[in-house]
């Protein structure tokens, strides 16, 4: 009889581990209450698919995740993936900042074993809670040879997304996640995994040795927004900033002096877009050192820039950001 796959489950909190007072409540609940063992108890049949080793790393609402948590999580996932007895890793996480944690783990954890994030939009106490089915899908994906070598994945609502591409696109509803234009999406069916591709998985592994990540802020540039925002970030000593401009990364004239001053001071700046889909290309009329976010949304451009700076290679950002 073939050996049963061994999957390590790392719980970090989120709505999948959330509880409410009544079964009908899908808002106003407390996220991150239940630990890993309680998540497994919701579906004892999981044990027939894989032998599970469960641990609770954090009990957080993911709105409170910070770069220090990303580092601790990625270091733990790397250690589990390096264990010859472990075949795959599943991480349960809140939906709010899952896209950032998953992209960070994708870029820093070097392994061919499946590393699969999952989450839920309804708390564990809700009628038709989506957490147990999403956890089942994540364990299936982590246990299946078809998903090896694809980098970090996100299994949710019957689909599998590449961590690089996935984004929370709706504040409510089970179909909250999607991926940008032309991005890689698969199915949580090990027999028909779909179109996933591995882009840059583990390519920033050196950053896992960092004690802390460089400070990078994201600025949302509304019509008429004051460039004093960028001056303030420069004054805070941040190493970089991602500027979420309107349209195709269109830089308002009023922002150009502040951008020049920040570049002159040695900050690394990325021109991104507030628009949900489509790449931001290079614009030859702008300073050559103002980098373009490509098809990364501002939140992920920040992750990529932090890692590029942590590895002392700001230009590495351009490879990570290049559109599909």
Per-residue tokens: 22: 């009544």
Contact 263, 285 (CB under 8 A): no
The β-bridge partners of 88 are 7
* CB 93, min distance to ligand ASP, A: 7
Q: Is 62 annotated as a binding residue?
A: yes
What residues line the site for ligand ASP (CB under 6 A)?
A: 13-15, 31, 61-63, 94-96, 119, 121
Nearer to ligand ASP, 63 or 282 (CB): 63
Query: At a CB cut-off of 8 Å and minimum separation 6, what does 249 contact?
Result: 271, 272, 273, 280, 281, 283, 292, 293
Instruction: Pick the catalytic residue from 95, 97, 111, 118.
Output: 95
Nearer to ligand ASP, 13 or 298 (CB): 13
Distance CA 262, CA 209 (A): 28
* CB 122, min distance to ligand ASP, A: 8
Nearer to ligand ASP, 171 or 236 (CB): 171
Q: Is 97 a catalytic residue?
A: no
β pairing state of 216-220 and 240-245: parallel
Distance CA 176, CA 151 (A): 22
Distance CA 192, CA 172 (A): 28
* CB 119, min distance to ligand ASP, A: 6
Taking Cα atoms as reference points, which of 124, 138, 113 lies closest to residue 54? 138
Nearer to ligand ASP, 90 or 119 (CB): 119
Distance CA 160, CA 150 (A): 11
Residue holding tokens 């579906």? 43
Q: Is 319 a catalytic residue?
A: no
Nearest residue relative to ligand ASP (C-beta): 94
β pairing state of 115-118 and 51-60: unpaired
Backbone angles phi, psi at 283, to 5 degrees: -125, 115
* CB 117, min distance to ligand ASP, A: 11
Backbone angles phi, psi at 300, to 5 degrees: -80, -30
Nearer to ligand ASP, 94 or 193 (CB): 94
* CB 94, min distance to ligand ASP, A: 2
**Residues annotated catalytic, as ranges:** 15, 95
Binding residues for substrate: 62, 95-96
Residues forming the annotated binding site? Answer: 62, 95-96
């Amino acid at each position: 009889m073939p050996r049963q796959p061994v999957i390590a489950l790392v719980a970090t909190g989120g709505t999948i581990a959330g509880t409410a007072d009544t079964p009908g409540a899908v808002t106003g609940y407390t996220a991150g209450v239940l630990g890993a063992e309680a998540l497994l108890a919701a579906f004892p049949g999981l044990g027939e698919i894989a032998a599970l080793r469960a641990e609770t790393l954090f009990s957080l609402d993911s709105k409170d995740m910070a770069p220090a948590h990303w580092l601790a999580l990625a270091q733990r996932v790397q250690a589990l993936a390096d264990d010859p007895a472990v075949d795959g890793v599943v991480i349960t996480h809140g939906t709010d900042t899952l896209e950032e944690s998953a992209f960070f783990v994708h870029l820093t954890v070097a392994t061919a074993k499946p590393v699969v994030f999952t989450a839920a939009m309804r708390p564990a106490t809700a009628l038709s809670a989506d957490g147990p089915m999403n956890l089942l899908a994540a364990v299936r994906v982590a246990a299946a040879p078809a998903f090896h070598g694809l980098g970090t994945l996100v299994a949710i609502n019957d689909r599998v997304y590449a961590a690089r591409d996935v984004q929370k696109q709706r504040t409510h509803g089970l179909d909250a996640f999607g991926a940008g234009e032309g991005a890689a999406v698969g199915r949580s069916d090990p027999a028909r995994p779909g179109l996933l591709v591995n882009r840059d998985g583990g390519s920033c592994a050196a950053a896992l040795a960092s004690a802390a990540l460089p400070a990078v802020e994201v600025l949302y540039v509304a019509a008429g927004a004051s460039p004093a925002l960028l001056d303030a970030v420069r004054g805070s000593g941040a190493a970089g900033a991602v500027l979420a401009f309107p349209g195709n990364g269109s830089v308002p004239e009023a922002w150009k002096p502040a951008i020049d001053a920040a570049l002159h001071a040695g900050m690394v700046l990325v021109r991104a877009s507030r628009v949900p889909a489509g790449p931001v290309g290079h614009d030859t009329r702008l300073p050559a050192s103002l980098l373009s976010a490509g098809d990364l949304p501002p939140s992920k451009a920040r992750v990529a820039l932090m890692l590029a700076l942590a590895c002392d290679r700001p230009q590495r950002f351009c490879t990570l950001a290049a559109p599909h």
